[in-house]
Every structure is written in C-alpha cells, then in structure tokens.
Amino acid sequence: MIKFDNVTVRKKNHILLAGVSFEACRGEKICFCGKSGSGKTTLLTTIVGAHIPAAGTVCFKNRPLSSKNILSVRQSVSYIGQEPVLGAHRVLDALMLPFTYRANKHSTPPSERINGVLEQLHLDAAILDKETNVISGGEKQRVAIARALLLGKTVFIADEITAGLDAQSKNAVLGLFRDAACTIVSVSHDPAWFGLCSRFYFLDRGRIVSVSDTPGAVIKTS
Amino acid sequence: MLMEVMDIGYQHMLLIYGLLLIPLCICYVLKIAVIKEFFTAVVRMSVQLALVALYLGFIFRINSLWVNLLWILFMICIADASILRSSGLRLSRFFPVLFAGIAVGTLLVVGVLVFLAVRPEPLYDARYLIPVTGMVLGNCLRANVISLERFYATIRKNEKEFLTYLLMGATLSEAILPYLREALKAALAPTITTMATLGLVSLPGMMTGQILGGSDPAVAIKYQIAIMIAIFTATVITAAINIGFSLRTSFNRYQVLDKSIFAG
C-alpha cells in the first residue's frame, strides 16, 4: 500500500530522512517512534507529498508518487496531524470543509452520520455550533479525527493523535481505529496506541535504527 | 469656458520652495532627525519631475505610435521591478510572469478608455495615452505590491493550514482560494475607500489639474470618473492575473510553496 525505498529528504543542508525504507501493506497498522527531531513527522508528511525526496522512491499502491498522481493519493488518504488545523470559524464548517472540495463533494455526509461519528468520539452535537477557537485542545483533536473519519478513507496517516486526549476520549478513538479495517501509518509515544499496531520502527536522526513486532523490543534495542 | 493656464514664474517657484523653511524650522527646533531625508526628498522630487517635464515634452512633440508604445513598455518594466522589489519576491523568477499580467490588465483597460471612449486624434495621442497609462499603472503597482506580498506571506505563515487543505483533497486552486480572497480584498481596499470618499475628502489630482488647466468642471468630472473606473478595473485584473500567473513558478510539483521564491 505505502512503500518507502531508500528515501532521503533534505532541507537546505540538513538531512531530515536518510535512506529510509519500509512498507505498510493493506490493512496493516504500523507505528514510528523516536525522539523529537528524529524525522517522524517528516516521514509521515512525505507520504502525502509535503516533501520531495532528494533520493529514493515513495510508492502508493505500487505507483511512485509524482505530480500526476499526488492529488489522487491525497484524496485516498486521511492525514491527522499532531496539532489539528480546523481551517474554519465554526466546528460544523470545519467538519464540512473537505466536502466543499470537488474531490469530496459527492460523499458529503448526512447529518445522521455526522452525529453518529461525534457520538462515537464522545462529542456532544452542540459542539457543531461552537466557534473553533473556544473548544479545548482535546475537542479540536477529536473534531479533526471526526473529519478524517467522515471522509470515509481506508488509509490513515496519524501523527500523535491520542496526545492531549483524556482517558475516555482516548479509549473511544482507540476503539474506532481498532475496529476499522484500515491501513494506518502512525507516529506515537502512547503505550495505549501501541496496542493497535503490529509493527514498530525506531527512528534516530532520520534513519530507521530498529524494527520489531513489539514496541518494548524496538525501544529497548535502540 | 476655456481659460489660459496660469504659469508660475521661476521667482514665484522660489517663493513656494521658501514655504519649506517652515517645516524645516519645526523639525530643527523639535530635533526631529529627518532633515537629511527631507532635503534628499525635496531634491529628488524636483529633479525627477524636471526630467518628467523634459521627456514628456519630447514624447508629446514626437507623438509617434512606436515611441508611445516603447515608453509604455518601459513604464511596465519599471512597475514590474518595483512590485517585485517591494513584495519581497525574486525578480529573476517573476519578472516575465508579472510583465504579462500587468501588460494584459493595463493595456486592456487603457485601450477601452483611450481608444473607445475618449477617441483622441490620432488615437495614440501621447497627451492622452501616456498620462492615462501612467495613472493606471501607478495605482496597479500599489495594489499588486499588497496583493502579492499578502498572498505569499500568508501562505508561508500558515503553511500547516495550507497543507491541511491539500491533504483534505483540495486542488491547488481550491487550497489557495482563502488566501487569494484575503489578498485581493486587501489590495482593493485603498481604491474602494478612495472612490467612496472622492470629492468629499479629497479633490482628485486629475480633476483638479484639468480644472486648473481651464477645463469645464463637468468634463473634468467625467474624466475623473472614467479614470477611477479604469484604475479599479485594472487593479482587479492585474492583481488576480498576477497571482494566477505566478502560481506555476511558486509551487513545486507537489503543490507545496517553494520558499526559494522569496528574495533575501
């Protein structure tokens, strides 16, 4: 589904990713760990074309990322960032924002579906009328997750999405992603999130230094 | 009601320059450290305008289609370079792109105003073509500095937000739309405010000049309305076209803003 083959990303003279190779198959849930500045977020955003690799190839569904398919890749993937950007003044408008784009117009969700997703994430329907700048960080994060779920994609790129969530909200998010038949490439330091994933990579200074099926082993090795 | 224009003699011009002693004294007494800049500005203004008088006199005497066109091209080049310098974008990357945008927007509007509405004899009469183009270009310049600077600086500042739009499935044109709206709104605001208060707050230069030159105020007002509409139209066209034309140069093949477009 998603494959990195010896990918190097540079920013001016800094190497952000150095010869990174990995593969996430359909339905797999994998997780990247590592210290701050080790290249985790760069890796996730490179999947969706935020960086052009200086070397190596990024493939999505066996096709190398290019100017021709970048739009369709972005339209097939849901990206949930570390600090959610809602991009609208009202929560409802933020949720509906992707459906104002031509690519998603046909899949505009009915209000029952919106309410259903909000309920699954322990969000009250009254939040829809609230201003996005008055809701808490945890609520913002769940609104961003709700928006990603409403898009109905089966590939998720998730950057620390349980950070800042209380125990109840976190359980709700974990439950949703555990049950979903989807592919997830994630970054997390949250042991609860580790329970969802089947493979773990440890990144250090832009390189993958260890891979394991258990988070404990990968962190210990590193 | 045509009158002779009252010339100002050189000795009377000296009297007018003498007025500058008042602000100079105020600045000196209050120790406002602008005296050097003050002198430089007055000297520059006088020399530049004296040169304008010389070359406009020359262009009006020759009154040739080709000289007029060459002069307009020269004005567009200067406007193009000034816009890029002031908006902090790389001259080498954007010069040809902006040249096309300014030329299309300005020449279209000036063409309608001079060739179709005013219809001087000959149509390319420098007395009409050059000042009208200069006024339209001058205002487009200001608006384009604001629109380009605002557009790219806002996307750069809100890079994460812009990327979020792309990652939600927006095309480049969909993702830039909020920034385009904001940039155009900011660029048009001064012209809209000027139009709305024209005649109440200020008497515009063109109209005042024509009235001082002996024109019927009704004719002068018609010209002023025409030029304001031309300025507004050209401002919208050039600001929108310039942002549109610059997109290809400013975003990489994955539609992410290329930071090397910024000068310095």
B95-109, B199-213, B233-247: least confidently modelled range? B199-213
Please indicate whether residue A83 or residue B24 has the higher confidence score (pLDDT). B24
Task: Quickly tell me which residue has 């493979």 as its tokens.
Answer: A199
Find out whether B146 and B88 touch, Cβ atoms under 8 Å: no
Q: What is the CATH number of the domain that holds A149?
A: 3.40.50.300
Nearest to A102 among B165, B171, B252 (CB): B171
Indicate the burial class of A121 (C-beta count within 10 angstroms; 0-12, 13-18, 19 or more).
Answer: buried
Q: Which of B159, B251, B254 to mutate to test the interface with A (most CBs of A within 10 A)?
A: B254
Whether B161 and A85 lie within 8 Å, measured CB to CB:
yes
Tokens of A59: 């493939």
pLDDT tens by residue, B117-159: 999 989 999 999 999 999 999 999 999 999 999 999 999 999 9
Kindly state whether B251 is in contact with chain A, defined as any CB-CB distance less than 8 angstroms. Answer: no
B109-113, B220-224, B232-236: least confidently modelled range? B220-224
pLDDT tens by residue, B69-85: 999 999 999 999 999 99
Does B1 score more than 60 pLDDT?
no
B3 band by pLDDT with thresholds 50, 70 and 90: low
Q: Which of B161, B165, B166, B168 to mutate to test the interface with A (most CBs of A within 10 A)?
A: B168
A213 band by pLDDT with thresholds 50, 70 and 90: confident
pLDDT tens by residue, A17-42: 999 999 999 999 999 999 888 999 99
* Other beta carbons less than 10 A from residue B162's beta carbon: 25
Range(s) of the domain holding residue A129: 2-221
- What is the pLDDT at residue B211? 84
Cβ-proximal residues to B136 (8 Å cutoff; 6+ apart), any chain:
B106, B109, B110, B227, B230, B231, B234
Please indicate whether residue A214 or residue A64 has the higher confidence score (pLDDT). A64
- What is the pLDDT at residue A163? 87
Does A207 score more than 90 pLDDT?
yes
- What is the pLDDT at residue B214? 83
Find out whether A5 and A21 touch, Cβ atoms under 8 Å: yes
Tell me the percentage of chain A whose pLDDT exceeds 90.
73
Does B41 score more than 80 pLDDT?
yes
Strand arrangement, sheet containing A2-11: A14-24, A2-11, A55-60, A63-64
- Which chain B residue has the Cα nearest residue A152? B168
Does A82 score more than 90 pLDDT?
no
A12 band by pLDDT with thresholds 50, 70 and 90: confident
Kindly state whether B168 is in contact with chain A, defined as any CB-CB distance less than 8 angstroms. Answer: yes
Question: Rounded to whole angstroms, how far apart are CA atoms A177 and A29?
Answer: 9
Rounded to the nearest integer, the mean pLDDT of chain B is 90
- What is the pLDDT at residue A217? 66
User: Burial code of B117-145, b = ≥16 C-beta within 10 A, e = fewer?
Assistant: ebeeeeebbbebbbebbbbbbebbbbbbb
Nearest to B164 among A77, A81, A103 (CB): A81
Whether B168 and A104 lie within 8 Å, measured CB to CB:
yes
- What is the pLDDT at residue A47? 95
Q: Mean pLDDT throughout B105-112?
A: 95
Name the DSSP class of A199.
E
- Which chain A residue has the Cα nearest residue B163? A50
Whether B169 and A70 lie within 8 Å, measured CB to CB:
no
Does B2 score more than 60 pLDDT?
no
- What is the pLDDT at residue B159? 92
Domain count of the fold of chain A: 1
pLDDT tens by residue, A114-155: 999 999 999 999 999 999 999 998 999 999 999 999 998 899
Query: Which chain A residues are closer than 8 Å to B256 by Cβ?
Result: 49-52
